[in-house]
A and B are shown apart, each in its own frame.
Chain A
Amino acid sequence: NAGVTQTPKFRVLKTGQSMTLLCAQDMNHEYMYWYRQDPGMGLRLIHYSVGEGTTAKGEVPDGYNVSRLKKQNFLLGLESAAPSQTSVYFCASARQHPNTEAFFGQGTRLTVV
């Protein structure tokens, strides 16, 4: 099993450009999450999804949109990138029951210039 795969691993954007980050999981998990992590900081929840076709806002949702058209994929979009969105982005997935572990991707390093 691949687990949680994030695409791309690195990206440089110019201010105002748009892009989509893809998170794919092959474990049939119901829950999926997008986080950002700034240097020396903890993970901050951007958006999350509790199932196909559902999304919800996390702690820092502004400037981002998400979609979960298929259970295995969770997309994070930046419509008009800003330098403040320079960060490392992590995706995670988990089964519904809290007595199970969450799995994380290896991250996408995004730089907005």
Chain B
Amino acid sequence: DAKTTQPNSMESNEEEPVHLPCNHSTISGTDYIHWYRQLPSQGPEYVIHGLTSNVNNRMASLAIAEDRKSSTLILHRATLRDAAVYYCILRSNFGNEKLTFGTGTRLTIIP
């Protein structure tokens, strides 16, 4: 299975942009890069995903490196409600249906 590597923790000031990195150097051509976040005492929730091109939605932006070996989740203006653990995972098919998570990045927002 292709693995992802993320920093254990990050801090950011409220109302500042946040860039959360993820390395996936063994990514295959059919792997989609997904981001989920887990708020305290809740189940994970979807944030964004992409394959090759950068993606934007109402929650965040996803910047994917040209060689696809890394990606960055961008929260444009962090709020206290964005404090969570953020997981970067790869979704694939072609016989690899497992959906496995690493330890993620714990994001702390400083008021």
Instruction: Tell which of A59, A90, A99, A107 touches B49, judged by Cβ atoms closer than 8 Å.
Output: A99
CB atoms of A48 and B98 under 8 A apart: yes
Question: Which of A11-19, A37-45, A64-72, A76-84 interfaces with chain B?
Answer: A37-45
Residue of B nearest to A101 (CB): B46
A77 to B51 Cα, complex, angstroms:
36
Check B91 for interface membership: any CB of A closer than 8 A.
yes
Check if A98 sits within 8 Å of B100, measured CB to CB.
no
What 0/1 readout, one digit per residue, does chain B (25-66) give for beta carbons within 8 Å of chain A? 000001110101000001111100101000000000000000
The residue that A42 contacts in the complex, of B43, B93, B101, with Cβ under 8 A, is B101
Assess the A45–B100 pair: CB atoms within 8 A: yes
B98–A43 touching, CB < 8 Å = no
Complexed CA–CA distance, A103 and B91 (Å): 13
Say whether A98 contacts B31, CB under 8 Å.
yes
CB of B103 within 8 Å of the partner chain: yes
Partner of B93 from A33, A90, A98 at Cβ < 8 Å: A98
A41, B103: Cβ atoms closer than 8 Å? yes
Most B CB contacts (10 A, CB to CB) among A31, A59, A101 go to A101
Determine whether the beta carbon of A102 is less than 8 Å from that of B46: yes
A49 to B41, CA, bound (A): 25
Which A residues have a C-beta under 8 Å from some C-beta of B? 4, 31, 33, 35, 41-45, 48, 50, 56, 58-59, 90, 92, 94, 96-99, 101-107
Q: How far is the CA of A42 from the CA of B5 in the complex (A)?
A: 13
Residues in A neighbouring B108, C-beta threshold 8 A? none
Contact of A42 with B102 at beta-carbon distance under 8 Å, contacts A99-B32, A101-B46, A104-B44 already known: yes
In B87-108, which residues have CB < 8 Å from any A CB? 87, 91-93, 97-104
Partner of B99, one of A42, A94, A106: A94
Residues A50 and B97 in contact in the complex (CB < 8 Å), given A98-B32, A98-B91:
yes
Q: How far is the CB of A16 from chain B (nearest CB, A)?
A: 29
Nearest-neighbor residue (CB-CB) of A105 within chain B: B43
